[in-house]
Structure 1
């Protein structure tokens, strides 16, 4: 009688070696192209609001758009993913760094390299643009990196993001075209839409509530609860737009003010649906209400271009 077991153990396949360098697709995912839209749009609003014709200045305008999106914004994403790798291991384990597709300390090296590249491009666009880029990059590192890590508190972190994603690119777009400090009304609109973007950043925090709680990040949904944070986000988005409407009327642009008011009213209708299920509909509102918000930005920029600046 044979003593050989009837079922032979399976042969364990050899382990797949971890990558030594990041694959191009993993690098692209780390830099999150989908996030580039907001600062690129804000930069375009700055260009429009300056009232300066783009003809003959296309190379400068294109360089500025690249600076706002694929450079400065992408840098902020790389910095955030590196310092959030432990949080992402809970919330999004498939992200490039926690999944190992960006191995070792490559994430930090990419963040540093993109910072340097952003500053190099900004330095070619004039002192005001370089100053804005330095400020934006500093916010990116302060937002994610210890010991400051502004993102640990939703009030400060969302304010930093709103300024970096909306106000600074708008300011930069106007500064690029005018080669000077932008008009005070341009700066006022940029700051108001930055404040409103604080609410947009709160919408982004709903998807990470569990990981934020477990890792000590006090986002507004964690601090206030989902319903209260959702109401706050709606008010923070709506009030600055109402101020924009009032300013446009005072500046002699009633038709543009009326259009911004209509877009705000549309957001109000969508907000009612969002508030009925904040956690379930945060992403939905981010894709609908935010579209009306950015259309209002462009409308306000066109008002300035029409003769106010």
Structure 2
């Protein structure tokens, strides 16, 4: 089956009845729109969120859209390995199977700070947190034919981006844009290496997506000097969160998706438009970087995957 459908929208999502979908960061923005669309097509959706009050509000809003919406909350703080392990343990208790894991949550361009485990905040949240969470849940996905892990990257994976193995936590110097780029490049390196390890099993695939320019809370940490520029440019390059969520929704639900594919908007510079397969940077396809990052991530998180 070929990915021939142009102008793909949520109307093209197949029936998701009977499927369990876990979406991180689902209380707002892209995650909320992703959860809303999946619930609207019959999935049982778990909102994996840090702030339970905001999560309850999101769940109520989703439930209000349909009498059949099936939504549950799971507390998850991706800045804490303890919280990640607790959340995964609870989900493993609650579910014998997981069909979709959408690693959506993230932070961008934050001032220099660390996670509860001492990792640089953007790398620790965007990559290491999701690496650990996915690894701890993978045995709930592996037995399920057609299951998927979708990780959200960014155009930012090309901007000042590399994996600084000599200073992963930015202890010697800090550039918030470059640190974000590192974390988003890591999302792609992780996806491609995960797909290589999943391929022999034949049941689960890993794919990635990016939203282009989307109007969400992610931009709240922009430097003050950049805010006027961003405000002026936003109407030209950004789209609403519902449209920005389409690439990850297509990666998660289109029956024709193959492992290792990367989805983004089809408009100019991939900033807006309908979802299609897009290319990622040459660095993201560097197998040595992929394998080295994987080994380091297992060491830092203490999570060893049940695939090799």
| Same-fold call, TM cutoff 0.5 | no
Higher helix share goes to which structure?
A: 1
Higher strand share goes to which structure?
A: 2
Larger radius of gyration: 1
TM-score scaled by length of structure 1: 0.31
